[in-house]
Structure 1
């Protein structure tokens, strides 16, 4: 089960293309099948609006995450068990 827990803009960051604003999206996911190395191999977060427009993560902005927040890659190798909740 995936849940969007927060969505916010990171305004005022330097070195960004004109008219762009980084968006920080926090998710929690409850692990079902713990074989994440197999099931999440293509894990990536993509936002899509009601008109079908899509936004994918970019490497244009690098932000430090809090210690309890993982990326797809770190979650895959976290050793999470069925029923665990991960923060991405």
Structure 2
């Protein structure tokens, strides 16, 4: 028996946004961004207090989004929406 396989590469893992309001806010910031952003700039855009703990929390969320393919890390600490 021969099975027909499509010539397309396998689908990437599900790029599902984590279920937390902060991720919605982060994606809204990137929807309006015209250039890659760092965690501090995302905090400023979200009107979150600029404190090391807040910046680190946002950075962890950005890295999680990059791991899921929702964002891309174009340089160390620089995040953007992936290009199609």
TM-score, L = length of structure 1: 0.29
**More relative contact order in 1 or in 2 (CA 8 Å, sep 6+)?**
1
TM-score, L = length of structure 2: 0.29
Question: If each structure's helix is expressed as a fraction of its own residues, which one has the higher value?
Answer: 2
